[in-house]
């Protein structure tokens, strides 16, 4: 049995939910989905400049869980940038 997921605090809802390489039609692109949870982790860590413990506290999660969320976001964004894929921000 899977452990129930704790509700995480998300204080950021992006106005833009798609990013894509310039000059390539969307129909020709593979899409990588980034969750709002991952976008919030990136915002707190990289835009706000908070340390991981403070970020985890703000998201109502443990530091190790925050690290997993952040690592997943970095992996997805890196793949999209390197391989020329679109990024779609989705609700969980």
CATH number of the domain that residue 52 is part of: 1.10.10.10
For residue 52, tell me if it sits in a domain: yes
pLDDT of residue 53: 96
pLDDT of residue 12: 76
Q: Which of the 8 DSSP states describes residue 29?
A: -
Q: How many domains does the chain have?
A: 1
pLDDT of residue 43: 95
Residue numbers of the domain that contains 34? 18-90
pTM for the model stands at: 0.86
pLDDT of residue 2: 66
Phi, psi of 71 (to 5 degrees): -60, -40
Q: Which of the 8 DSSP states describes residue 47?
A: I
Residue among 6, 14, 8, 11 at smallest CA distance from 89: 14
Binned average pLDDT, 10 residues per bin, the chain of 92 residues: 69 85 93 95 96 95 95 97 96 80
Angle at alpha carbon of residue 35, lines to 56 and 30, rounded to 5°: 145
| Cα dist from 9 to 25, 28, 48, 89, whole Å | 35, 35, 16, 17
């Amino acid at each position: 049995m899977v452990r129930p997921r704790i509700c995480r605090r998300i204080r950021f809802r992006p106005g833009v939910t798609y990013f894509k390489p310039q000059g390539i039609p969307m129909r020709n692109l593979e899409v990588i989905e980034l969750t709002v949870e991952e976008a919030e982790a990136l915002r707190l860590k990289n835009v706000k400049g908070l340390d991981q413990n403070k970020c985890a506290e703000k998201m109502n999660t443990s530091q190790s869980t925050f690290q997993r969320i952040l690592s997943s976001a970095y992996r997805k964004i890196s793949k999209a940038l390197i391989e020329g894929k679109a990024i779609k921000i989705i609700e969980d």
